[in-house]
Structure 1
Amino acid sequence: MFSPRGPSLRELCVQALSSVERGYDLLAPKFDHTPFRTPRSILDATAGALSELGPFGDGLDVCCGTGAGMLVLRPLCRGGVTGVDFSTGMLAQARSAYPDATWTRADARHLPFAEGFDLAVTFGALGHFLPSERPAVFAGVYRALRPGGLFAFPIGAPPPFMSVSHWAALGFDVTMRVRNAVWRPRFVMYYRTTPLPAVRDDLTAAGFTVTTADLTALGRRRDGSPQCRLVLARKPVKDQRQSM
């Protein structure tokens, strides 16, 4: 599961008993050698789907971590690319890997941008926000995009009820809820709090027009449905909320 260059069990335990920010600061130097980093297959599938909608101007990676999203943004964006994260350690790794990008430390629930980007992406970060916090994240991305801008991110289909993946995710979420009930600071990371219908509703409430694209390169389930979809949330050219 982990390469020899990844964190030890002790290091993972220390991280798990820390806050989200402190945990990722500790994990940052070895993060790219763990299974937590977004797989290249997902990045490539996302880039392929977005290439049909671009090119774009300026790009933003929300909760950028060590900068894996740059592999998507840099080929698609003709302008500058920016990553934002609240972990100083993760940003240090990203800055070292991609010195030509702009890196900003900020909480995704309070993004400090206004109409500066044409494409925003995020990978594997939504589980770090409680459902009640998602509206603030989506509202911040909405503000950060120029009119007509696009917010895109992959979201996996829920695993079948009888699959090992379903019970593993359920067990992890239950363990995290127990941990957060008895230990402070909290470490928010859940796998089952971002179903597509709920995410779509929150994006729509933020003002986006939402569609999805099947990421068929990542495979299909037995019923023929895709294993993963790309959520495409478009900021209208004219903000209907302001015209009412």
Structure 2
Amino acid sequence: MEGPRLRELVVQALSSVEHGYDLLAPKFDATSFRTPDWLLAATITALREYGPFERGLDVCTGTGAGLEVLAETTAERPTGVDFSMGMLEQAREAHPEADLVRADARALPFEAAYDLVVSFGALGHFLPGERLALFAGIHRALRPGGTFALPAGQGPRPTHPAYWMLTGFDLAMRVRNAVWRPKFVMYYRTHPRPALLRDLTEVGFVVATTPMPGVGELIVARRNQLSPGAGSSQAAERR
């Protein structure tokens, strides 16, 4: 598959998030934005100590990379949710066995329906003030005792050129969104680990982590067996 040309990427970047991904969808899997197979494999391995799981949901599924994790870790037909119809069409071609739902991840239409929720590479599309709604919706979607698994890679240090490349990208995106509409929300440095653990705890998750050698760690947020819904406050733990 041939990846998108520069002009196509520019058009996408000047669009809204939803329309931009509709445009990019047919060539998305040929870009570096797709979740790499090594990260999917590491997540599958890390999840084995927390299973078995019956039913799974991939939030912001895109073309369906996370559905591959659910196929290996859950017993029932997996579900993927995304708000880009173009991305869902690609996911349907690649994963005809999955149930695919179009919805905004900040208002998930599920209630105590899943044992496992995963999400890959999506946090940059949510502003810090939107994370609580995202995590609260995931909490509601889980059955009591259910697990939300969120891979967290090792970010580059300030001494590494990649650190400044990501910082420069975020700065350029802030300038773009200040002068251009519609906004395209995609940032790399707006979801540091302490903020994620705090927000997950605030909506009612009990949070732990497990190492993924060579990758980083898997944040494992579990809905309390006795909790009737989101909103309780639990202390974050490190496994």
Deviation sequence 1:45-72 (CA, Å, 0-9, x none): 0000001211201000000000001111
Deviation sequence 1:67-116 (CA, Å, 0-9, x none): 00111101111122100000000000001111111000000000000000
Tell me the equivalent position of 2:54.
57
What is the distance in 1 between the residues matched to 2:153 and 2:174?
22
What is the distance in 1 between the residues matched to 2:159 and 2:119?
29
Tell me the equivalent position of 1:229.
217
Label 1:106 to 1:241 Cα distance change in 2 as closer, same or farther (>3 A). closer
Equivalent residue runs for 1:151-170 within 5 Å? 151-170=148-167
Secondary structure of 2:33's partner? coil
Tell me the equivalent position of 2:179.
182
- Specify the code of the residue in structure 1 equivalent to 2:15: S
Tell me the equivalent position of 2:89.
92
Tell me the equivalent position of 2:140.
143
Moved over 2 A (4+): 240-244
Residue 191, structure 1, aligned to residue 188, structure 2? yes
Q: How many residues align?
A: 232
Extract unaligned runs of 5+ from structure 2. 233-239
Tell me the equivalent position of 2:236.
none
Query: Between the two proteins, what is the percent identity of the paired residues?
Result: 59
How far the C-alpha of 1:243 sits from its partner, in A, is 11
How far the C-alpha of 1:157 sits from its partner, in A, is 2.6
Tell me the equivalent position of 2:211.
214
TM-score by length of 1: 0.92
TM-score by length of 2: 0.94
Extract unaligned runs of 5+ from structure 1. 220-226
- Specify the code of the residue in structure 2 equivalent to 1:235: R
- Specify the code of the residue in structure 2 equivalent to 1:156: G
Residue 134, structure 1, aligned to residue 128, structure 2? no
- Specify the code of the residue in structure 2 equivalent to 1:191: Y
